[in-house]
Structure 1
Amino acid sequence: MKRSEIKSRPLRDTVLNSLEPESIVYRVLDGKKLYLKVNPRGTKSWEFRYTKPDGKTSWLGLGGYPAVSASQARKKAAVIRNDIAEGIDPLAAKRARKQSRIETTNNTFEVLAREWHAAKAKSWSEGTATRIMGALALHVFPVFGKRPYIEITSMEWMEFLHALEKKGIIEQTKRIRAMCRDIYDLARVTGRIQYNPVEGLHKYLTTKPAESFAHVPASELPALLRAIRSYATHDVSIGLQLLSMLACRPSELREARWSEFDLESALWTVPAERMKRRREHLIPLPRQAVDLLRQLQFFTGYGPLLFPSKSSMAKPRSDTVFLMALRRLGYEGRQTGHGFRHIASTLLNEHGFDENHIEAQLSHVKEGVAGVYNKAQYLSQRREMMQWYADYLDKLATGNVVEMKRA
């Protein structure tokens, strides 16, 4: 259709679709200063004609047709006419709206969280950094990721955290709340917000004992130890045996590197960056642990990690590897990797070992005089204690326990 054939306005879709291009750009009035612009190549777009404060006529683009329909273009034109009636320059208003969209995009919770993560990751192990970002991506970003962080209220955060609790992930909910509180603290200390909407919410969350510390009673320990030793996946079986006798944290073992071990001296040095307290920790290795590590070297000793993932020798196994193995053995909800620490603490205390030696082995050691920390504190005593403990577990597993006396 030629523009000379237009009979009425506003323009109908049949007219808009059929308008033919000409050798030059031309505009067709739709009504109330809204025009359809037709280019020689046939592309079409909406424009609004208005008079600037200096008296000159200008055109304001409203988007291409048909991406912007006639009804959408007319609504945009109505907004512009309202701005003009209130003395607002429509071009300035358009630029302000664009800037607002940019700022909204740059000020989303996900952008802030990634800024926080990049700053904090320098002091984390690779495994910790991956685990934290994974939790945010899985639980938080789908709900709040695209929202401007300044608009999310404390009540919304409370409802979100309660929803996580209802899924039964109590401990993870606590960790996620702590992450989000720290993320908002970054915005607060840099002057981007006045208060932290997540601060104080921990007072209203569930405080029941965490499932992650579940452990079997002493009467069931022999059966558990035998089940672990017979587990089909050899490296995971070794990992569970080491967890049971060393009383270390599962993450410390899962992310361990061969360079940390001196098997000749029977000593494991866990670097500060992988410790919860950010302090280097020495773990004496009983004979049984050294034997297990030499077996494990046959499978993974050619790489940097004791427990590399199947996809990359440079990355540790999943943080659920030991937990899933215990579940497959029938101990879901009854025993976890961390629960071995509780078992060790209980048995060693019951058999009369010094509480200070036990706490040092668990890396719960207190600071000494004038805040000085001794990484080798009670090392010789702990070596004797952990050898006794490994021998005791052997006796339990083989059914040869008479009441073992300390040497």
Structure 2
Amino acid sequence: MKRSEIKRRPLADTVLVTLEPEASTYRELDGNGLYFRVKPNGQKSWELRYKKADGKWSWLGMGGYPEVSGALARQKTTKLRDSTAKDGSTLATKRTIRAAEIEAANNTFEHLAREWFAIKRKTWTEGTAVRTIGALEKHVFPVFGKRTYCNILPMEWMDFLHGMEQTGIVEQTSRVRGMCKEIYDLARVTGRATHNPLEGLHKFLLTKPVENFAHVSVDELPSLLRAVQAYPHASDVRIGLQLLSMLACRPTELREASWAEFELDGGLWLIPAARMKRRREHLVPLPRQAVELLRELQKITGNYPLLFPGRSDTTKPRSNTVFLMALRRLGYEGRQTGHGFRHLASTILNEHGFDSQHVEAQLSHVKEGVRSVYDKSTYLEQRKVMMQWYADHLDKLAIGNVVEFKLA
């Protein structure tokens, strides 16, 4: 609407939303010295006109709209006017104004989220930390970052999450909802919020079958192995998929690996604790085929610290979806993931009579407790034999001269 059509003040919410910009910036009085400012580019904000100690008039920014609603702007104005000097000449001291500005900044969702992130990242791998803050910065902060977290309604979160779902990123939506719920939990347990607006929202959001561990059947594995070997798009990605298929490591462990972690002559890969899920070093025996693949990869990326350096920034690893997207290009979307190779390895090794403790050690699955004190070299000699057998077995499957069987 045009400013000339305003009928009453304080300004109604419908006026604030629809008020049109003009060729130059203008202000409309809301009441009690509070003005609504509209810029030519459509940006809207609140300003308070007040008299300084020297008797001159000035403006105090009260926040952008819609981050600061009309009700909140009027509430902030009332608080500041309560600090007016007895003679009525000064709205507030500079200290009071500055304190109000700091309080407003500290009450934003982004400020609370970054506080939560600083606490949580102490227990995360670097990859988890990067993915978490990246999701918040990409999806949440542009929408709610500058808003006062206590003023964001459950319905607003519902609309936001539904919007994410409609883009097809259902799993990412679920993770973002979980993060934001934890962020509000921090505010609640520290006495800065009385309720969590994301509580119970999961009941009304889409759910998706977990695909993190999706994998083909053992009968379909030979075809998958042949497809991977013939991957036509990028040699380093093809090598990565082959390594995932035979080492039973987590995709992130391989994707973020550096050449310094490998001793190719000795056939060993030492994954540092900082990159492991359970914060323990993990020693992976490399079968002959893996060493050959790594030497091939070294000719491609050996001049960089990382095995899989990013295309735009070689100091960072390739995207965390690089292997998943490659499998999709091969026609295995929803049927096989990088993580799913671990399940195939576990199934095949157990079905062929290998000691389950050796298999679990290879997968870096270690029970907590005093009786399970972890040693990175646990069952190393046995695992060397086991993983060489497994690599040989995969080769035979790929060329089709092996018949699968299961132990009775």
TM-score (norm 1): 0.72
Cα deviation for residue 203 of structure 1 reads: 7.3
8 Å contact kept, 2:161–2:177: yes
Question: What is the DSSP-based 3-state SS (H/G/I as helix, E as strand, rest coil) of the residue aligned with 2:315?
Answer: coil
CA drift of 1:297 comes to 1.0
State the partner residue of 2:58: 61
Q: 1:272 to 1:218 in 2, by over 3 A?
A: same
Could you report, residue by residue, the CA deviation over 1:314-333 in whole angstroms, capped at 9, with x for unpaired residues?
Answer: 11001111111111112122
Q: How many residues align?
A: 344
CA distance 1:90–1:318, shift in 2 (3 Å): farther
Q: CA RMSD in A?
A: 3.9
Q: 1:246 to 1:97 in 2, by over 3 A?
A: same
Question: Equivalences for 1:122-137 in 2 at 5 Å?
Answer: 124-137=124-137
Residue in 2 aligned with 1:139? Answer: 139
Q: Which has the larger radius of gyration?
A: 1
| 1:239-276, Cα deviation, whole Å (9 max, x unpaired) | 00000111111111000011111112211111111111
The 2-side partners of 1:381 and 1:196 are apart by 51
User: C-alpha displacement at 1:120, in angstroms?
Assistant: 4.4
Which residue of structure 1 lines up, in the alignment, with residue 184 of structure 2? 184
Corresponding residue of 1:175: 175
1:172-222, CA deviations, whole angstroms, 9 ceiling, x for partnerless residues?
334323322443344455543355554676677666531222212222211
Deviation at 1:394, TM superposition (A): 0.5
TM-score between the two structures when normalised by the length of structure 2: 0.71
**C-alpha deviation, 1:295, in angstroms:** 1.0
Change in 2 beyond 3 A, CA 1:385/1:49: closer
Provide Cα deviations, 1:258-310, integer angstroms capped at 9, x if missing partner. Answer: 11111122111111111112221121111111111111111111221110011
User: Counterparts in 2 of 1:267-278, with a 5 A limit?
Assistant: 267-278=268-279
Structure 2 counterparts to residues 8-407 of structure 1, below 5 A: 58-61=55-58, 89=88, 91-92=90-91, 100=100, 102-121=102-121, 124-153=124-153, 156-157=156-157, 160-161=160-161, 164-165=164-165, 167-188=167-188, 190-194=190-194, 196-198=196-198, 209-232=209-232, 233-367=234-368, 369-370=370-371, 372-403=373-404
* In structure 2, C-alpha distance between the alignment counterparts of 1:230 and 1:48, rounded to whole Å: 70
Deviates more, 1:239-248 or 1:369-378: 369-378
Counterpart AA for 1:238: I
Greater shift in the superposed pair: 156-165 or 342-351: 156-165
Q: Which moved more, 1:162-171 or 1:277-286?
A: 162-171
Unaligned runs of 5+ in 2: 1-23, 25-32, 34-46, 61-73
Q: Where does the alignment leave 5 or more consecutive residues of structure 1 unmatched?
A: 1-16, 18-32, 34-45, 64-75
Structure 2 equivalent of residue 40 of structure 1: none
User: Alpha-carbon deviations, 1:154-179, whole Å to 9, x = none?
Assistant: 56545644554565544433432332
Structure 1 stretch displaced more, 304-313 or 362-371? 362-371
SS in 2 for 1:141: helix
Residue type of the partner of 1:256?
Answer: A
CA displacement 1:84-142 (0-9 Å, x = unmatched)? 9x999584379778854553333211122233334544554443332222211222223
Residue range with higher mean Cα deviation, 124-133 or 232-241: 124-133
Change (3 A) 1:295 1:191: same
What is the CA–CA distance in structure 2 between the aligned matches of 1:314 and 1:89, rounded to whole Å? Answer: 60
Deviation (angstroms), 1:397: 0.9
1:389 is displaced (CA, Å) by 1.1
Give the SS at the match of 2:364.
coil
Quote the Cα distance in structure 1 between the aligned partners of 2:245 and 2:126. 25
Q: After superposition, what is the alpha-carbon deviation per residue over 1:14-51, rounded to whole angstroms, capped at 9, x for unaligned?
A: xxx9xxxxxxxxxxxxxxx9xxxxxxxxxxxx99899x
Equivalent residues of 1:123, 1:273 under 8 A apart: no
Work out the CA distance in 1 between the residues paired with 2:48 and 2:376: 73
